[in-house]
């Protein structure tokens, strides 16, 4: 028996929702897409939602619709999944990173401010910034906005971890401090569609461009065409888009899952609370919880005090693995990936993210984690660390 670090939670009503679509007229490009988009937008308190085949595609189109291209720069955190940075490269832009705050593990507004000042002097300001809400806890978005505003940097929140999270009284996804917010519905995330992603925005122009680019840049809206439609069959390609669509099968699953998002997050909060309390005496740091936010608790990341514990992270990880507990590590800093090292990034470039990586361990955290399984994890950690 193994305990994974994350897994989906699929119930009878989710299965029914999918089966209903399989029996219907539309497997893709049907009404279930619209329903999921509206439900997401309403849940986050924002006018527009667009769903995609995955969050990586969503990040790509978020960057494209903001006009990111060759000669431009995108900045993000090194403490993220590679997709948060790759989206800049897809557009032909240069990618750079801003180190994390050692307290929150999220992109540091102070480091950002310094880097922006320097970039401004050198004429190398970024066009787009992608802050990532690591583990499900919002970045200090007010701080980030305060330091980016005067430079006109556009902000895309990568909230792949943070569906159901709150920040300063609003849902993450409400785009109070950003142009767009991206969610992922991969099975390890808060709610799932198998594969899937979304962008939420307040901006109608961005919304319309996102929908256009999601489907090849093709329109059936005669107002956008260069000449009168030849007939009812007629469409025009007016831009170079992609097929980044989600299926109706996935959207129906998403709508069904989204109804349980709050319940999922509440349960994750309870699991986190139990870990916080049970691990307090061990040589490790439990995750920081900012008083002005509610984390979606996608991940529960401890930082090991390896000297005090006289154990390496590697040893703790391996010991958990051999006990059937599949802990994980989030993340190997993106700038140290071989593909990024080829661009000149190296060890020491972002010391806080590198230190975090050397100590971090993601413990099992998911809606269906039983009390007994959580006690097994806690017991094993005590055994290894004392
Ligand atoms: C999962 C994840 C993504 C990519 O999501 P997909 O839906 O798998 O493409 C991007 N950014 C972060 C921070 C993620 O955790």
Of 145, 179, 169, residue with least CA distance to 159: 179
Q: What is the pLDDT of residues 187-228, one digit of tens each?
A: 999 999 999 999 999 999 999 999 999 999 999 999 999 989
Ligand 1 midpoint to CA 184 (Å)? 6
Q: Rounded to an integer, what distance in angstroms lies between the CA atom of residue 26 and that of residue 16?
A: 16
Q: Which atom of ligand 1 is nearest to the CA of 189?
A: 1
Ligand 1 midpoint to CA 383 (Å)? 34
pLDDT number for residue 1: 82
184 lines ligand 1 (CB under 6 A): yes
Do residues 304 and 284 lie in contact, with contact meaning Cβ atoms separated by under 8 Å?
yes
Per-residue pLDDT band for 289 (boundaries 50, 70, 90) equals: very high
Nearest CA to ligand 1 atom 6: 55
Q: What is the pLDDT of residues 88-98, one digit of tens each?
A: 999 999 999 99
132 lines ligand 1 (CB under 6 A): yes
Q: What's the angle, vertex CA 362, arms to CA 358 and CA 367, rounded to 5?
A: 170
pLDDT number for residue 290: 93
Mutate to test the pocket of ligand 1, among 84, 95, 301, 333 (most ligand atoms within 8 A of CB): 84
Per-residue pLDDT band for 244 (boundaries 50, 70, 90) equals: very high
Q: What is the pLDDT of residues 48-65, one digit of tens each?
A: 999 999 999 999 999 999
Average pLDDT, the chain: 97
328 lines ligand 1 (CB under 6 A): no
Of 102, 367, 176, residue with least CA distance to 257: 367
CA distances from 238 to 181, 218, 221 (A): 26, 6, 11
Helices within the chain (DSSP H only)? 12-22, 31-44, 55-65, 83-90, 109-122, 141-148, 204-214, 248-258, 261-278, 306-309, 313-322, 338-341, 351-359, 371-385
pLDDT number for residue 194: 98
Percent of the chain with pLDDT over 70: 100
pLDDT number for residue 35: 98
Do residues 63 and 90 lie in contact, with contact meaning Cβ atoms separated by under 8 Å?
yes
Ligand 1 midpoint to CA 83 (Å)? 6
pLDDT number for residue 7: 96
Q: Rounded to an integer, what distance in angstroms lies between the CA atom of residue 214 and that of residue 271?
A: 38
pLDDT number for residue 295: 98
Q: What is the pLDDT of residues 300-337, one digit of tens each?
A: 999 999 999 999 999 999 999 999 999 999 999 999 99
DSSP β-bridge partners for residue 302: 361
pLDDT number for residue 218: 96
pTM of the model: 0.98
- The number of beta carbons lying within 10 Å of the beta carbon of residue 362 is 20
């Amino acid at each position: 028996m193994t305990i994974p670090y994350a897994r989906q939670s699929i119930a009878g009503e989710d299965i029914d929702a999918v089966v209903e679509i399989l029996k219907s007229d539309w497997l893709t490009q049907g009404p279930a897409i619209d329903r999921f988009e509206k439900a997401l937008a309403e849940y986050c308190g924002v006018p527009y939602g667009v769903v995609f085949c995955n969050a990586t595609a969503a990040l790509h189109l978020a960057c494209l619709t903001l006009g990111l291209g060759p000669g431009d720069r995108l900045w993000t955190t090194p403490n993220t999944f590679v997709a948060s940075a790759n989206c800049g490269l897809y557009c032909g832009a240069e990618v750079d990173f801003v180190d994390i705050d050692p307290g929150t593990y999220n992109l540091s507004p102070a480091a950002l401010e310094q880097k922006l000042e320097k970039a401004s002097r050198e004429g190398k300001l970024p066009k787009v910034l992608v802050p990532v809400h690591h583990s499900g806890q919002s970045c200090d978005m007010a701080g980030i906005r305060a330091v980016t505003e005067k430079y006109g940097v556009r902000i895309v929140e990568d909230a792949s971890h943070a569906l159901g999270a709150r920040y300063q009284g609003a849902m993450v996804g409400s785009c109070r401090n950003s142009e767009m917010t991206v969610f992922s519905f991969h099975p390890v995330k808060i709610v799932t569609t198998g594969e899937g992603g979304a962008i939420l925005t307040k901006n109608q122009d961005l919304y319309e461009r996102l929908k256009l680019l999601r489907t090849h840049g093709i329109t059936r809206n005669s107002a956008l065409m260069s000449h009168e439609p030849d007939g009812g069959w007629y469409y025009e390609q007016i831009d170079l888009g992609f097929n980044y669509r989600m299926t109706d099968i996935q959207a129906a699953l998403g709508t069904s899952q989204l109804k349980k998002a709050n319940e999922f997050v509440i349960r994750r909060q309870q699991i986190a609370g139990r870990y916080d309390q049970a691990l307090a005496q061990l040589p490790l740091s439990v995750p920081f919880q900012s008083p002005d936010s509610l984390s979606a608790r996608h991940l529960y990341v401890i930082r090991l005090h390896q000297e005090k514990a006289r154990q390496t992270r590697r040893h703790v990880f391996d010991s958990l693995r051999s006990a059937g507990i599949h802990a994980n590590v989030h993340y190997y800093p993106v700038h140290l990936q071989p593909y990024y090292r080829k661009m000149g990034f190296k060890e020491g470039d972002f010391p806080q993210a590198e230190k975090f990586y050397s100590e971090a361990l993601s413990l099992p955290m998911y809606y269906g984690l039983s009390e007994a399984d959580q006690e097994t994890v806690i017991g094993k950690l005590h055994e290894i660390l004392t």
